[in-house]
């Protein structure tokens, strides 16, 4: 009996305990949300089956349409039934098109109205007023993350739009992707542009940055891809619902948008449920990238897994369903924590919004503080279930993967950024090991594209590579040259392989872009800009003349100038002797007055020579007639000197040799030098189709020349110029002229560049890889690689030649020492004549002194040399002053020219004084 009584008491206790552990939770669904219902039921089943302390009893309400009045009534009904939490509704609900009056206090009513207007979610408002936890699992386009701070009882486990936006921004700007410009393609009705807010602020619109294209469900998707194809866009970010994603992407194949240079980034988190993997083929070589929430992998507690065991497929795959499942699990953990604390009690069953449940705040607090720990009974569907203080899931793990082959490439989260998945596999769990052992599809996007490239032999673009003794090159190593280096650099930039073959996909050489060629092939952007000029043999330098400085004036001009100088000097002497103004009295001392005329031959020549040379003179005429004569001479001298200076400058700075060919016009106008070009090239096409007179005349002359003016290639034309020694000129592209002229000192470029051209890489018409090659060429140009390649193959050489323009200038314009040597000879001759004349005058004066002093010439020479050596003496004694004083009435006298007749009374005395003074002078 005692045992029976004890059994009955235990059974009653267990029944009461079980009843206390069973709680009600509510859920709001639209009637067509079957996947959400399935995920919700699966979470409830898992909790009830595995949890021995907690049982959920679900109350579901369904909406047939989006009506906020009905939604309010259903939410109030759940609250009146005493549910401990409400899940949903989904973002299909607008939640507040209108609002029914709720019987609450005035203060509470005002708060409710304000929050409804700001957030437009009636369920969140009701739960916030009653203290019932409200769990959401996705974001509507009208929801704002910042408004969550007004709803302390609302929790959203879906990834926030702002964090997703940050993730996309960090991924696309990382060095692994490095998207410089791209186009966002989005479906209008389902896409939320808030996920692209970081991208929209990062890249400018339509200026080598960001472009946006929208479409609608049910549109003709061919129009969408045709627009993108015309835009030549290779980087596309596509935000498309998973149910139509496969159909939309499949259309891109027919517009050549799935080649190896195309990049497609799928921004929808449910791309893995779209069936896109069925498009897997060798033709689909585009780099396809998608993102999704990383699945939760529970700790392995059963040792090694059996690789032969068939794992059940995951039925909950959509992000919204996974988030709802995780929301139920998360709520159960928070509720269980509160129940264990002993403060748990059921909410009161009252009318909607009239009373508040204080336990709900504690449950929400534990949910926000929850951290995943090992050994959890109920596993989540996604990783990193951490919530912020406002109830937002703003940190989570994203998988960046290829949806065609299910290959995970990177893992992203807010704290670590983008991490290589291969590095994480070193510490992988059993689930990850199981995924490793499963067979994988071959990723065709990882294979490098291989192009066959055609070219032609011609230095310095494409040449055979010299083989050292004992070395044999094969494949692409057999060749060298400018285009070989260029294609290697381009392959490294654009990540493709290549081989040189006759039948090819690409054509690269010194191939000029012309309209005729563009009708059969397409071209990339130019990799070199050039023009056409004339290659010519350097003429022999002119013979240098010793007296080249005399060349500005002819011989007769120089003779006339010399005669004019002498005549003007004699005229000045005659006019001065006739004019009394030029005779001046000069008081020598108290007894001696002389009359002086300073215009004799030496002074006259000095005046006129100085005026020609632009020098001043201390001797100037006083008479009006002499001044007028001198003024006209100055005018003549000014014009002659300036004319000589200008003419001499023109000889020095002339840019070409007299009689040489300066440009194409000079070449066409003469008949001594033949000229030609490569037959059938772009240069010949330019001349044959041009309407300008010089080009047309040049073309007609070349057609009539015998022997034929045209050559088979550039090398033949260069050899012909060298052999002709100035009788043949060759028209060719300027880079080739630069190459040959620097390596052959006999050659030079003459004339300016004309007919601007560009070299480009030829590709088939409408080739999908043309724009990628163009982008690669532009990158090489920006990095300076094209400039370095041109210097390597066109400028650097072992032959040291003076540049052509400098040769022209030195050989035809500059005066070197040979040209101006005559000036130094004239200066030296003048100095020698002056020195000789000075010596003769010195000896003559010494002889006169010896006679007057009645001494020997040796004595007089010694006396003068001694005075010359004593350079510190500033005065020299006057000789025979006593004799002069004896024949004069004055105590002192100085000999100059004549004595005044007024001072001497007798003619004999005057005659004696004149004779003596003349001898002394």
311-315, 525-529, 706-710: segment of lowest average pLDDT: 311-315
Per the structure block, which two tokens stand in for 378? 């109920």
54-68, 504-518, 566-580, 904-918: segment of lowest average pLDDT: 904-918
**What distances in angstroms separate CA 849 from CA 12, 251, 879, one per listed residue?**
168, 125, 8
Per the structure block, which two tokens stand in for 407? 């290959």
Q: How big is the chain by its Cα radius of gyration, in Å?
A: 54
Dihedral sign, CA of 758, 763, 764, 765?
negative
Percent of the chain scoring above 70 in pLDDT: 75
Per-residue pLDDT band for 93 (boundaries 50, 70, 90) equals: low
Its CATH architecture, for the domain 531-541+660-765+794-808, is 3-Layer(aba) Sandwich (3.40)
SS (H, E, C) 840-893: HHHHHHHHHHHHHHCCCHHHHHHHHHHHHHCCCCCCCCCCCHHHHHHCCCCCCC
Residue with tokens 């607090």: 365
**27: enclosing H helix or E strand:** strand 22-30
Read off the pLDDT of residues 284-309 as tens digits, 9 standing for 90 and up: 888 899 999 998 876 554 444 444 34
Read off the pLDDT of residues 327-385 as tens digits, 9 standing for 90 and up: 999 999 999 888 888 878 888 776 776 678 888 889 999 998 887 654 444 578 998 88
Sheet holding 398-402, edge to edge: 210-215, 182-187, 235-239, 263-266, 287-293, 398-402, 407-413, 417-420
Asked: is 450-530 a CATH 3.40.50.720 domain? The reply is no
| CA gap 411, 677 in Å, rounded | 62
Contact 389, 285 (CB under 8 A): no
- Residue 26 has what pLDDT? 94
| CA gap 34, 395 in Å, rounded | 28
Query: Between 819 and 896, whose confidence is greater?
Result: 819
Read off the pLDDT of residues 733-790 as tens digits, 9 standing for 90 and up: 888 888 888 888 888 888 888 888 899 999 888 776 788 889 899 999 999 999 999 8
Sheet holding 728-733, edge to edge: 674-676, 728-733, 528-537, 747-759
- Residue 249 has what pLDDT? 94
- Residue 250 has what pLDDT? 93
Per-residue pLDDT band for 43 (boundaries 50, 70, 90) equals: very high
Mean pLDDT for the chain?
78
- For the segment 521-539, the average pLDDT, to the nearest whole number, is 89
Read off the pLDDT of residues 715-735 as tens digits, 9 standing for 90 and up: 899 999 989 888 899 999 888
Residue 653 has pLDDT above 70, yes or no: no
- Residue 251 has what pLDDT? 93
**What distances in angstroms separate CA 355 from CA 115, 134, 345, one per listed residue?**
18, 16, 14
Residue 541 has pLDDT above 90, yes or no: no
Annotated binding-site positions for L-glutamate: 512, 517, 682-683, 733
SS (H, E, C) 786-826: HHHHHHHHHHCCCCCCCCHHHHHHHHHCCCCHHHHHHHHHH
Per the structure block, which two tokens stand in for 578? 């006739």
Contact 540, 764 (CB under 8 A): no
Per the structure block, which two tokens stand in for 217? 């469900």
Per-residue pLDDT band for 205 (boundaries 50, 70, 90) equals: confident
Annotated binding-site positions: 512, 517, 682-683, 733
- Residue 430 has what pLDDT? 52
Contact 814, 761 (CB under 8 A): no
Which CATH superfamily hosts domain 161-292?
A: Response regulator (3.40.50.2300)
- Cα within 13 Å of Cα(355), Cβ side: 12
| CA gap 442, 351 in Å, rounded | 62
| CA gap 531, 388 in Å, rounded | 66
Residue with tokens 């507690």: 301
* Phi, psi (deg, nearest 5) at residue 463: -140, 160
* Maximum mean pLDDT: which of 442-451, 803-812, 888-897: 442-451
Is omega for the bond preceding 707 within 30 degrees of 0, making it cis?
A: yes
Percent of the chain scoring above 90 in pLDDT: 22
Q: Could you write out the DSSP letters of every residue in 659-725?
A: T---SHHHHHH-SSSEEE-BTTSHHHHHHHH--SHHHHHHHHHHHH-SS---BSSHHHHHHHHHHHT
Per the structure block, which two tokens stand in for 436? 């490793």
């Amino acid at each position: 009996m005692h045992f029976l009584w004890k059994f009955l008491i235990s059974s009653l206790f267990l029944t009461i305990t079980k009843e206390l552990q069973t709680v009600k939770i509510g859920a709001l669904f639209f009637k067509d949300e079957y996947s959400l219902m399935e995920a919700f039921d699966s979470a409830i089943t898992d909790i009830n089956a595995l949890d021995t302390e907690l049982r959920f009893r679900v109350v579901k309400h369904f909406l047939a349409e989006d009506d906020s009045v009905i939604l309010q009534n259903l939410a109030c009904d759940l609250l009146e039934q005493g549910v401990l939490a409400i899940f949903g509704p989904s973002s299909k609900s607008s939640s507040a098109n209108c609002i029914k009056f709720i019987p609450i206090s005035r203060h509470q009513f005002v708060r409710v109205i304000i929050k409804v207007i700001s957030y437009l979610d009636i369920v969140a408002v009701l739960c916030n007023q009653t203290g019932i936890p409200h769990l959401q699992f996705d974001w509507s386009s009208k929801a704002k993350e910042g408004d969550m701070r007004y709803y302390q009882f609302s929790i959203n486990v879906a990834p926030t739009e702002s964090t997703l936006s940050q993730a996309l921004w960090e991924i696309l700007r990382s060095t692994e992707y490095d998207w410089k410009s791209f186009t966002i393609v989005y479906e209008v009705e389902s896409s939320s542009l808030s996920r692209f807010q970081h991208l929209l602020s990062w890249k400018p619109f339509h200026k080598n940055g960001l472009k946006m294209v929208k479409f609608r469900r049910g549109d003709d998707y061919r129009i969408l891809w045709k627009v993108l194809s015309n835009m030549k866009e290779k980087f596309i970010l596509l935000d498309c619902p998973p149910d139509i994603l496969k159909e939309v992407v499949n259309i891109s194949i027919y517009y050549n948008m799935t080649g190896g240079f195309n990049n497609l980034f799928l921004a929808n988190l449910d791309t893995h449920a779209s069936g896109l993997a069925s498009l897997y083929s060798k033709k689909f070589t585009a780099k396809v990238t998608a993102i999704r929430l990383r699945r939760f992998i529970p700790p392995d507690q059963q040792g090694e897994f059996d690789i032969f065991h068939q794992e059940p497929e995951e039925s909950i795959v959509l992000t919204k369903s996974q988030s709802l499942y995780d929301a139920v699990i998360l709520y159960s953990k928070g509720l269980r924590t509160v129940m264990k604390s002993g403060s748990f009690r059921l909410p009161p069953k009252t009318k909607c919004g009239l009373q508040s449940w204080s336990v709900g705040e504690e449950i929400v607090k534990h949910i926000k503080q929850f951290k995943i720990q090992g050994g959890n009974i109920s596993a989540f569907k996604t990783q990193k279930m951490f919530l912020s203080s406002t109830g937002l899931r703003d940190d989570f793990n994203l998988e960046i993967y290829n949806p065609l082959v299910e290959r995970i490439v990177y893992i992203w989260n807010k704290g670590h950024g983008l991490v290589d998945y291969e590095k994480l596999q070193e510490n992988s769990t059993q689930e990850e090991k199981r995924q490793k052992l499963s067979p994988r599809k071959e990723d065709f996007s990882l294979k490098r594209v291989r192009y066959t490239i055609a070219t032609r032999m011609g230095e310095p673009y494409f040449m055979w590579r010299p083989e050292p003794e004992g070395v044999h090159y094969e494949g692409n190593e057999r060749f060298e040259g400018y285009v070989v280096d260029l294609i290697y650099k381009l392959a490294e930039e654009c990540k493709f392989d290549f081989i040189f073959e006759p039948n090819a996909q690409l054509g690269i050489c010194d191939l000029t872009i012309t309209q005729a060629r563009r009708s059969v092939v397409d071209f990339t952007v130019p990799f070199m800009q050039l023009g056409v000029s004339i290659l010519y043999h350097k003429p022999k330098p002119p013979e240098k003349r010793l007296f080249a400085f005399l060349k500005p004036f002819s011989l007769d001009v120089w003779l006339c100038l010399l005669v004019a100088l002498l005549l003007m000097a004699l005229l000045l002497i005659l006019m001065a002797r006739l004019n009394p103004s030029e005779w001046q009295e000069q008081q020598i001392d108290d007894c001696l007055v002389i009359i002086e005329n300073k215009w004799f031959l030496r002074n006259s020549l000095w005046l006129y020579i100085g005026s020609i040379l632009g020098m001043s003179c201390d001797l100037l005429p006083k008479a009006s007639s002499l001044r007028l004569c001198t003024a006209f001479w100055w005018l003549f001298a000014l014009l002659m000197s300036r004319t000589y200076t200008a003419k001499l400058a023109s000889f020095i700075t002339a840019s070409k040799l007299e009689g040489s060919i300066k440009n194409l016009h000079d070449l066409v106008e003469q008949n001594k030098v033949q000229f030609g070009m490569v037959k059938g090239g772009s240069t010949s096409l330019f001349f044959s189709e041009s309407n300008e007179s010089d080009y047309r005349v040049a073309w007609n002359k070349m057609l009539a020349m015998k022997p034929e003016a045209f050559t088979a290639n550039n090398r033949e034309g260069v050899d012909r110029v060298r052999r002709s020694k100035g009788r043949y000129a060759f028209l060719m592209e300027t880079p080739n002229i630069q190459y040959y002229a620097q390596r052959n000192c006999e050659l030079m470029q003459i004339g300016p560049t004309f007919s601007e051209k560009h070299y480009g890489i030829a590709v088939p018409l409408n080739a999908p890889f043309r724009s990628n090659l163009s982008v690669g060429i532009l990158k090489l140009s920006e990095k300076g690689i094209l400039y370095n390649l041109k210097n390597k193959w066109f400028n650097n050489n072992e032959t040291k030649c003076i540049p052509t323009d400098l040769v022209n200038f030195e050989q035809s314009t500059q005066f070197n020492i040979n040209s101006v040597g005559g000036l130094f000879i004239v200066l030296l001759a003048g100095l020698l004549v002056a020195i000789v004349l000075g010596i003769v005058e010195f000896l003559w004066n010494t002889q006169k002194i010896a006679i007057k002093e009645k001494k020997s010439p040796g004595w007089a020479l010694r006396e003068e040399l001694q005075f010359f050596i004593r350079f510190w003496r500033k005065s020299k004694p006057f000789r025979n002053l006593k004799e002069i004083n004896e024949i004069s009435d004055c105590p002192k006298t100085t000999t100059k020219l004549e004595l005044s007749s007024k001072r001497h009374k007798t003619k004999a005395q005057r005659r004696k004084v004149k004779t003596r003074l003349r001898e002394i002078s």
